[in-house]
Amino acid sequence: MAVRWAVLGLLAACVASATKESVLNMCMDAKHHKTKPGPEGALHGQCAPWKDNACCTAETSKGAHQDQSYLYNFNWNHCGVMPDKCKQHFIQDTCLYECSPNLGPWIDQVRGRWGWVDNSWRRERILNVPLCKEDCDLWWEACKDAVTCRENWHKGWNWTSGTNRCPRGSICQPFKYVFPRPADLCEKIWSNSYKYTTEHRGGGRCIQMWFDPANGNPNVAVAKYYAQNGRDASPAPWELSGTETSQFV
Ligand SMILES: *[C@@H]1O[C@H](CO)[C@@H](O)[C@H](O)[C@H]1NC(C)=O
């Protein structure tokens, strides 16, 4: 019995590792992403750290820095002007989303209507990307006094004017009330695209929104780790015993 499980586990592990390698160094199938990652010498501003290997074009990287850019027509200033120190984090979040070739382990097929006005262009999304504690905490700290009317920015806007406006009856409030803890911000704002972690930058177990490219892209090793160990880094079914297995089947 034990031998049979071991053989089955080995087989499953081989198949799994072959398919999991393919999620490394790839671009998701979404509106602005390139089909394959590659060098982009002229990436703009905060997106420059990805210039050696990126899923975004120079044009997309410029759009990431503009208010209400052609990228998504999204209006950061829906409850008054968003302070620059806060906007920087949303720009960095956009750079990571558009440029990173290391989000493969967290790419999910989009089922049905999901984001924005019409997401027909968006066949894939990211789900539960383990964001480094520092990236989430600093984002929250910089934005705690910025103001918004929505907790989930993917849904519930009034788009009749062509850009997102607060729907009638909603209230503009500081982020610190809408998102009491950093985890609320990072997880809820983009419908669980990110997962809050207590992992630290440089530890190889969390994705960094901000990094110094002089030392290479730290997210390469992180993607590899989660591709090999499962994106939730949970044990594989054959590594568990007894009844625990059933929840994974
Ligand atoms: C949406 O905005 C339009 C004006 O652009 C307004 O007439 C309409 O009442 C708004 N609807 C909601 C639900 O906020």
Chunk the chain into consecutive blocks of 10 residues (it has 249) and report each block's average pLDDT, rounded to whole numbers. 58 56 90 96 97 98 94 95 98 98 91 46 86 98 98 95 95 98 98 97 97 96 94 50 33
Report which residue type is found at 43.
Answer: L
Q: What is the CA radius of gyration of the chain?
A: 19
Planar angle of CA 194, 205, 91, nearest 5 degrees = 40
Predicted local distance difference test score (pLDDT) of residue 243: 36
Residue 107: partners with Cβ closer than 8 Å, 6 or more residues away: 23, 26, 28, 124, 125, 126, 127
CA distance 100 to 17: 22
Do 166 and 213 touch, CB atoms closer than 8 A?
no
**Does residue 159's CB lie within 6 angstroms of at least one atom of ligand 1?**
no
Distance in Å, CA 118 to ligand 1 centroid:
18
Distance in Å, CA 168 to ligand 1 centroid:
7
Predicted local distance difference test score (pLDDT) of residue 123: 81
CA distance 71 to 136: 23
Burial of 32 (0-12, 13-18, 19+ CB in 10 A): buried
**Does residue 161's CB lie within 6 angstroms of at least one atom of ligand 1?**
yes
**Does residue 160's CB lie within 6 angstroms of at least one atom of ligand 1?**
yes
Burial of 212 (0-12, 13-18, 19+ CB in 10 A): exposed
Predicted local distance difference test score (pLDDT) of residue 118: 45
pTM, 2 dp? 0.84
Do 149 and 171 touch, CB atoms closer than 8 A?
yes
Q: For ligand 1, what atom is nearest to the CA of residue 158?
A: 1
